[in-house]
Structure 1
Amino acid sequence: MRSSRRPSRPQRRPQSEAPSGPALEVVIESVGGEGDGIAAGPIFAPFTLPGERVRLAPGGERRDVEQILQASAERVVPPCPHFGVCGGCALQHWEHDAYLAWKVDRLRRTLARERIETEFLPAVAAPPASRRRLALHARPGGRGAARLGFKARKSWDVVDIEVCPIADPALQAALPALRALAAPLFEHAKSAPTLHVTLTATGIDVDITGVERKSGGLSADARMRLAEIAAQGDFARVTLDGEPAYLVRQPMVRLGPATVALPAGAFLQAVPAAEAAMAALAVEACAGADRIADLYCGVGTFTFRLAGVAPVLACDSSAPAIHALNAAVSTAPGVKGIVGEHRDLARRPVLAEELKRIDTVVFDPPRAGAAEQSAEIARSKVARAVGVSCNPATFARDARILIDGGFTLDRLLPVDQFLWSPHIELVGVFSR
């Protein structure tokens, strides 16, 4: 379906960013890394698609769209009424197959900058209504209420959302209760709370950050109100920067054969189907291994599944995550042995000498990548490696380190876990 929806009215520009050129009519040539259309110049225009002819408002390099004069055949009606105002999604107006092909092409180009070519497996795409994790920003509302949602485009303001088509229906249904939960958090003017919400097997878990603490944090009255609202909303747990504020059920998640008690604020893959696809490829790539190292293992997203293949050494910089992983081993029947170690792999990577008894390594680092650890894997005698990444640029850098050390990147799985955003994740399989 073609869309008649236009982008929202732009925010008032600061004086230093006053318009520097007249209105223009341009043809959009491509879509850039942040999801904006690009015309000759270059000029960047949000919510536009390749081949479209558009009229742009006065401005400089980045401009708002006044009118779409000739729409692309790939333009569709955005499913969310907040699209164009909310900064959470950038690409809901693009037909799915074309949008996904653009993401995969960007990934291919990122690897090419490091002179890397490989086989691309068919991309895994997260469906709508599948996100089990959201980070919702809160701001004061009228009469002691709160506004809750995502930041507006290019603004610190918050769009108070009523629906969210990417979220699991259980999280969307909880939005009113979450908005009520945010109301007691504004005792101090500098508080800018974020509610990190996770849907678990035992209910909704909320970790709240951004509450001003230098002035003493929340008062006893506010904490009591918070607990009362959490009970009314039937939340499993509410924490303030990881500290308990309310607990009626321990949040639990199922990871392969194991049931894990989730630490407050712990990392968890955002979409269960994406997690399952990534883990399935990692397990397949590790078939026949004698001993596996799972580095940056978190609470055991891959560990428990890999331990069905061979004994696993699991390392992560989060002590609570390793504690939860070790505690969950007894819930995982049939695993071949797991040893969890608390270790900062950026400052103290597992050395090549320590990998002598390891023949396969799985690593899933944060966005900064795993340059130090990749260098040790390259120096080692490890036969196979599986890299999981949420940042194609740092993955390409780390892959080049492994390739220069004698590995080949055999195949790669693109994973569109963050639907309608410019971000793409991946799993890469390496061998000597």
Structure 2
Amino acid sequence: MQSSKPPRRGPQRPAGPEPETEVAILDMGGEGDGLAEGPVYVPFTLPGERARVRGRGERRQLAELLSASPERVEPPCPHFGTCGGCALQHWEMASYLAWKRERLIGTLARQHIETEVLPIFASPPASRRRVALHARQGSRDAARLGYKMRASWDLVTIEACPIADPRIVAALPALRRLAAPLFEHPKSAPTLHVTLTDQGLDVDISGVERKSGGLSADGRMRLAQAAAEGGLARVSLDGEIAYMDQQAPSVRLGPARVFLPPGAFLQATPQAEAAMRAFVIEAAQGAAQIADLYCGVGTFTFALAEIAPVYAADGAAEAVRALTTALAGAPGLKGVRAEARDLVRRPILAEELRKTDVVVFDPPRAGAAEQSAEIARSAVGRAIGVSCNPATFGRDARTLIEAGFRLVRVLPVDQFLWSPHVELVGVFER
């Protein structure tokens, strides 16, 4: 006998149009969306505004702006609102920067940390030297190229980008032609990691299907031809060089010229890099022995070595090799000893820091939990933390504070303009 019960189904969205309601925006949420009572998060709104919103749950869509804040400005980018790269171009700059600084103060407060937080350093528009461009198949001669849409895997094909260096924007037609040969396999979803160097654009491509043998000989030939015609400095596929002009791409870091390995990490804007370096160098004055941990290709190393001998360590062997090679062209340094070392599995031990009086640490987003514990155990008198994640910085700062350090001042840094992302440099003293 058949059961009369209806078949079981998962949660169903209610039929019919999405409901609309009117809300007052009270504050800004952590991701740059307006925050109304509920909580309800509404993109592209500002505190003090009233809006009609569409949808259910915490995340709604803006249906109509009913009253605008005096802090609202015209977004400078024609793709704003569709492109997922920027969230806050509609907010007047002074208020936007004040919000970022207050967010940082609030993050530290959750770890019960109070300190002097300096005025935020903001990179100007048109200054980003690193961008990641997603490619989708277009014609035989030119791919579609752009950023992901907001809350979607779809692509916004960009023609303008007010955050990027104009030389990157000008190269978009050449980059579309470069990406055209990358779709021999249907599973390929290439991303072009573009870095502006002193020799031109350095492009490292990821996401090309490799299990089927990777790019064919014909595809590589077309790639190299497009790179040469586009005037690119270098093109690599997951770090393997596919094309290079006469000289390897390089940048100047303090007193040294560093030839970059493919895909090397650099700070997103040269202006923020210079401001962070100046702050670190000022804080390191008077040191007799310095450790530069998570040193990368030497963002701080070479300038620190003008003060005192430096021990530099990083888990990326290619970066450490580039740093070491650059030493020959940087005379007048007090000495640098560099080592490729995984600072998570093998942090520099307190005993190894016995003769070190200043430690600089610049970890990835996950922070430096293991290394901070060793700095806390050591006799180091001053530590300088550089961070792209205030939450993990706060956790590591709490470790140092409980060991007798004091966080004496913090410089907030905005180099990801019009995003909710904020970075910082903090100085600790015993």
* TM-score under structure 2 length normalisation: 0.96
Please give the alpha-carbon distance, in whole angstroms, between the structure 1 residues aligned to 2:21 and 2:201: 48
Provide the aligned length of Structure 1 versus Structure 2: 419
- The equivalent residue for 2:42 is 45
Larger Rg: 2
- The equivalent residue for 1:116 is 113
- The equivalent residue for 2:231 is 234
Query: Secondary structure of the residue that 2:209 maps to in structure 1?
Result: coil
Query: Secondary structure of the residue that 2:268 maps to in structure 1?
Result: coil
Query: Secondary structure of the residue that 1:29 maps to in structure 2?
Result: strand
Query: Secondary structure of the residue that 1:85 maps to in structure 2?
Result: coil
Query: Secondary structure of the residue that 2:321 maps to in structure 1?
Result: helix
Report the AA paired with residue 367 of structure 1.
Answer: R
Alignment of 1:94-173 (within 5 A): 94-142=91-139, 145-173=142-170
The offset of 1:58, in angstroms, is 3.0
Please give the alpha-carbon distance, in whole angstroms, between the structure 2 residues aligned to 1:19 and 1:273: 51
For the pair 1:212 / 2:209, whether they are aligned, the reply is yes
Please give the alpha-carbon distance, in whole angstroms, between the structure 2 residues aligned to 1:214 and 1:283: 46
The offset of 1:250, in angstroms, is 0.5
Alignment of 1:369-380 (within 5 A): 369-380=367-378
Please give the alpha-carbon distance, in whole angstroms, between the structure 2 residues aligned to 1:369 and 1:414: 17
The offset of 1:18, in angstroms, is 7.6
For the pair 1:90 / 2:51, whether they are aligned, the reply is no
Report the AA paired with residue 379 of structure 2.
Answer: K
- The equivalent residue for 1:66 is 63
1:307-356, Cα deviation, whole Å (9 max, x unpaired) = 01000000000000000000000111211000110000011000000000
Report the AA paired with residue 135 of structure 1.
Answer: A
Query: Secondary structure of the residue that 2:102 maps to in structure 1?
Result: helix
Query: Secondary structure of the residue that 2:46 maps to in structure 1?
Result: coil
Which one of 75, 79, 84 corresponds to residue 78 of structure 1?
A: 75
Query: Secondary structure of the residue that 1:354 maps to in structure 2?
Result: helix
Report the AA paired with residue 209 of structure 1.
Answer: S
Worse-superposed segment, 123-132 or 134-143: 134-143
Please give the alpha-carbon distance, in whole angstroms, between the structure 2 residues aligned to 1:331 and 1:27: 60
Alignment of 1:254-403 (within 5 A): 254-403=252-401
Contact kept, 8 Å, 1:57 with 1:66, in 2: the verdict is yes
Contact kept, 8 Å, 2:140 with 2:180, in 1: the verdict is no
Contact kept, 8 Å, 1:294 with 1:361, in 2: the verdict is yes
Report the AA paired with residue 259 of structure 2.
Answer: A
Contact kept, 8 Å, 1:293 with 1:360, in 2: the verdict is yes
Please give the alpha-carbon distance, in whole angstroms, between the structure 2 residues aligned to 1:329 and 1:263: 15
- The equivalent residue for 2:5 is none
Please give the alpha-carbon distance, in whole angstroms, between the structure 1 residues aligned to 2:199 and 2:190: 24
Query: Secondary structure of the residue that 1:386 maps to in structure 2?
Result: strand
Please give the alpha-carbon distance, in whole angstroms, between the structure 2 residues aligned to 1:117 and 1:266: 35
The offset of 1:22, in angstroms, is 2.2
- The equivalent residue for 1:178 is 175
Contact kept, 8 Å, 2:142 with 2:178, in 1: the verdict is no
Runs of 4+, deviation exceeding 6 Å: 17-21
The offset of 1:52, in angstroms, is 0.4
Contact kept, 8 Å, 1:202 with 1:252, in 2: the verdict is yes
Shift of the 20–385 alpha-carbon distance from structure 1 to 2, 3 Å rule, reads farther
Query: Secondary structure of the residue that 2:279 maps to in structure 1?
Result: helix
Please give the alpha-carbon distance, in whole angstroms, between the structure 2 residues aligned to 1:287 and 1:19: 66
Please give the alpha-carbon distance, in whole angstroms, between the structure 2 residues aligned to 1:264 and 1:17: 50
For the pair 1:247 / 2:275, whether they are aligned, the reply is no
Report the AA paired with residue 198 of structure 1.
Answer: T
Please give the alpha-carbon distance, in whole angstroms, between the structure 2 residues aligned to 1:71 and 1:160: 29
Worse-superposed segment, 381-390 or 53-62: 53-62
Shift of the 340–37 alpha-carbon distance from structure 1 to 2, 3 Å rule, reads same
Which one of 217, 222, 244 corresponds to residue 219 of structure 2?
A: 222
Contact kept, 8 Å, 1:195 with 1:209, in 2: the verdict is yes
Report the AA paired with residue 326 of structure 1.
Answer: T
Worse-superposed segment, 21-30 or 389-398: 21-30
Shift of the 19–310 alpha-carbon distance from structure 1 to 2, 3 Å rule, reads farther
Contact kept, 8 Å, 1:208 with 1:241, in 2: the verdict is yes
- The equivalent residue for 1:56 is 53
Contact kept, 8 Å, 1:18 with 1:59, in 2: the verdict is no
Which one of 397, 409, 412 corresponds to residue 410 of structure 2?
A: 412
Worse-superposed segment, 51-60 or 68-77: 51-60
Please give the alpha-carbon distance, in whole angstroms, between the structure 1 residues aligned to 2:16 and 2:71: 30
Contact kept, 8 Å, 1:19 with 1:58, in 2: the verdict is no
Contact kept, 8 Å, 1:19 with 1:60, in 2: the verdict is no
Query: Secondary structure of the residue that 2:193 maps to in structure 1?
Result: strand
Please give the alpha-carbon distance, in whole angstroms, between the structure 2 residues aligned to 1:329 and 1:431: 30
Query: Secondary structure of the residue that 1:33 maps to in structure 2?
Result: coil
- The equivalent residue for 2:189 is 192
Query: Secondary structure of the residue that 1:156 maps to in structure 2?
Result: coil
The offset of 1:19, in angstroms, is 8.2
The offset of 1:259, in angstroms, is 0.1
Query: Secondary structure of the residue that 2:126 maps to in structure 1?
Result: coil
Please give the alpha-carbon distance, in whole angstroms, between the structure 2 residues aligned to 1:215 and 1:388: 41
Stretches of structure 1 lacking an aligned partner (at least 5 in a row): 1-13
Query: Secondary structure of the residue that 2:98 maps to in structure 1?
Result: helix
